[in-house]
Copies of this chain bind each other. A is one copy, B any other.
């Protein structure tokens, strides 16, 4: 296992501790629940936006907490749903008169934990709703999900809802916006390698030196097929065609486009993929209003990438352009 690691049991806690130490004064950190939240929250006039799924997808979602983004993250262990008491502690800590919105990527474990916690919180009189994100076109159902998986499209739901929440949108408004983003966003990913969960200490799945997994899930779930590794342009073409035909995206659409690295792929290769995706978008008559090339939703150190397209309208363009702060300094 080639990782920077101390005791594998401490991987998630030490990573969150690092985020906390790197942002003095900005966050409250509750180690007992892996809970990290903005130190200026809760604010009773603002809906609290929270998310908690398995770890191993960083920067999603513990590094997506900040003004204009999430108010709190309460991740579980690597690739494991957070326990119910963690979810409940998160809702209780972030409760607000305006309500709490829980954004959940579509995995059964996450849904079960949050469903139970939400029910318990509502029984206490806390105003809280959930929204399920499912943007992956690769397969209709998957190892850990009934229905499509939630993957990198999650970012756009966070960003749009985070911006609207900062401006004072109500819980009902945020549910409408989340639904709009989710209904207009599509993703697909390809893996070149597997990855090693720290506590497992072994590859999540086997893949040969000349193979790729087309339609990979972010926990290593099988995709559409295992195939021989192809040229980068051919890989982009397959992802682009699968995504564009699904919504479908149409000539004249204004879009946001993301090339997301899965953790082990360098940014040079991501820009090489973006090049082809931009060419394909142009050919299809799509105007790329905003683009995102980097790591947004990863699978530990997996080499691979996903493509995400989001159809925009005036409201979404405005929300995506709103200011946001995250715990990661870039330049």
Near B by CB (< 8 A), chain A positions 278-301 give 278-279, 290-295, 298, 300-301
Q: Which residue in B5, B18, B231, B273 is a CB contact (below 8 Å) of A278?
A: B18
Chain A contact patch, size range: 35 or more
Which stretch of A37-45, A53-61, A170-178, A240-248 is in the interface?
A: A53-61
Contacts of A209 in B (CB 8 A): 2
Q: How far is the CA of A5 from the CA of B229 in the complex (A)?
A: 10
Contacts of A199 in B (CB 8 A): none
- With A268-B56, A275-B17 known as contacts, the answer to whether A69 contacts B331 (CB < 8 A) is yes
Residue of B nearest to A328 (CB): B294
Cβ contacts A283-322/B at 8 Å (1 or 0 each): 0000000111111001011010100000000000000000
This chain: how many copies in the complex?
2
- With A18-B278, A22-B278, A301-B303 known as contacts, the answer to whether A229 contacts B329 (CB < 8 A) is no
Contacts of A192 in B (CB 8 A): 2-4
Query: A147: CB under 8 A from chain B?
Result: no
Contacts of A59 in B (CB 8 A): 267
Query: A193: CB under 8 A from chain B?
Result: yes
- With A291-B329, A293-B328, A328-B294 known as contacts, the answer to whether A18 contacts B272 (CB < 8 A) is yes
Whether B303 lies near A264 (C-beta < 8 A) is yes
Whether A18 lies near B231 (C-beta < 8 A) is no
Expressed in whole angstroms, the minimum distance between the Cβ of A160 and any Cβ of chain B is: 12
Identify the A interface with B (CB < 8 A).
Answer: 2-6, 11, 14-19, 21-22, 55-56, 58-59, 63-64, 68-69, 159, 192-193, 209, 229, 231-233, 235, 263-275, 278-279, 290-295, 298, 300-301, 303, 305, 324, 326, 328-331
